[in-house]
Amino acid sequence: MKFSCYKDKIIKALNSVVKGVASKTTMPILEGILIQTNDNEIKLTTYDLEIGIEYVIECEVKEQGSTVVNAIMFSEIIRKLPDTEIEITLNDKNLLEIECEGSHYKLATMNPEEFPELPKIEIENSIELEQNNLKNMIRKTIFAVSTEESRPIFTGCLFETENNKLNLVAVDGFRLALRSIYLSQKTNDFNAVIPGKTLNEVNKILSDSFEPVKIGIAKNQALFELDNCKIVTRIIDGEFLNYKNVIPTNWETRIKVNKNNIQDCFERISLISSSSIEKEKKYPVKVNVDIGKVTISCTNQTGDAKEELFVATEGKNLEAGFNPKYFLDSLKSIDDEDVYIEFGSSISPCLVKSVENNDYVYMILPIRLKED
């Protein structure tokens, strides 16, 4: 095997495929990148048995072949080489030679026949949307995916198509994030739960462009196709939460507030709430809604804090406790200038919604306040 390629092309490919390299494994082959030539292109592949990534680059191939090389070592060497053409050769001793101007490296390789094949996917349903839209939807829901392995289904994000609309839903038991977008092409209704770990990596590969990304869903696998890159991942088996039944449809108290203003209040209050002396969960912030005003406060052994905001209010007065981090995560993901925050009672879920449209809903469960 022998080929030459400019550094910027290889780096772009490596930035994508390294996200599929196994970090903790007893199988050294999974720590490698499979390099294969095919006519005048090379294909780089990584696979950690949960997520597999392929990237194809056009280059000058002088001899066909394939090999596996340690991903971290190969990537770091390429990154530090001069910004010019790099020649890569698999010599007769099965060492991978990397040459660039005055630099010359030889790396040990592994048998490409031992590298596991990526799953063959027979796509049953597919959708296509712009990369920037999918990137935006993932970023604005992924924070609510659970990290508790005891409930595997919630460690993923629900992809649901319904009436030509794509819904992404994440739940961790304390909050829910829902983002929606209408699709430009007619599609079948389907749903699949994609692992949060995969979506984090997909999000890093997606660009803020109008270029398309195609998502294909099979029985137990999903495929993301974009540019020269393919990402294969397992689908989490199980029944996701019937989220439509848990999102409240009525409210007793509602405020309309400038998103940045209330976000700033929660950020300042959280300095007291999440202090190192006291655990955050023991000391939630208290939210009081009165006519034309919302007061956010917290008292613990570190100190006490109170923030007041004059807002538009509707309905009853209310007092409830919340984890400020959950509010902050939701507010940081919102681009609107103003939002509605809707409350039921002091022990029922709170909703953060758009004033203008229905493309997102964030639901946050309250924390029972201790009696004074």
List the CATH number of the domain containing 292. Answer: 3.10.150.10
Please report whether residue 43 resides in a domain: yes
Same domain, 106 and 33: yes
- Percent of the chain's residues with pLDDT above 90: 87
List the single range of 127-141, 188-202, 295-309, 330-344 with lowest mean pLDDT: 295-309
**How do residues 328-355 score in pLDDT, each as one tens digit?**
999 999 999 999 999 998 899 999 999 9
Which tens digit of pLDDT belongs to each residue from 121-168? 999 999 999 999 999 999 999 999 999 988 999 999 999 999 999 999
Given pLDDT bands bounded at 50, 70 and 90, which one contains residue 280?
very low
Domain assignment present for 120: no
What mean pLDDT is reported for the chain? Answer: 93
Which pLDDT tens digit goes with each residue over 72-102?
999 999 999 999 999 999 999 999 999 999 9
pTM of the model: 0.91
Same domain, 148 and 97: no
Q: At 264, phi and psi to the nearest 5?
A: -60, -40
How many structural domains comprise the chain?
Answer: 3
Domain assignment present for 6? yes
Q: Which of 241, 273, 296 represents a domain boundary (last residue)?
A: 241
Residues 220 and 298 in one domain: no
pLDDT at 282: 52
The whole-number pLDDT of residue 278 equals 47
Task: Render pLDDT for 12-38 as a digit per residue (tens, 0 to 9).
Answer: 999 999 999 998 888 999 999 999 999
- For residues 267 and 216, membership in a common domain is answered with no
Q: Are 255 and 293 part of one and the same domain? A: yes
Say if residue 86 is in the same domain as residue 135: no
Query: Does residue 370 sit within a domain?
Result: no
In a domain, 353, yes or no: yes
Last residue of a domain, one of 209, 241, 273: 241
Same domain? 222 vs 268: no
Residue 226 has pLDDT above 90, yes or no: yes
Judge if 281 and 320 occupy the same domain.
yes
Residue 119 lies in a domain: no
- Is residue 369 in some structural domain? no
Q: Which of 219, 241, 263 is the last residue of a domain?
A: 241
Residues 318 and 347 in one domain: yes
Residue 372 lies in a domain: no
Q: Check residue 369 and give its pLDDT.
A: 79
User: Is pLDDT at 372 greater than 60 in this prediction?
Assistant: no
Question: Which structural domain, as residue segments, surrounds residue 74?
Answer: 2-114
Considering the domain architecture, whether residues 235 and 277 belong to the same structural domain is answered as no
- How large is the average pLDDT for residues 270-279? 66
Asked if 50 and 82 sit in the same domain, the reply is yes
Judge if 165 and 251 occupy the same domain: no
Mean pLDDT of 295-309: 90
Q: What is the mean pLDDT of residues 198-224?
A: 95
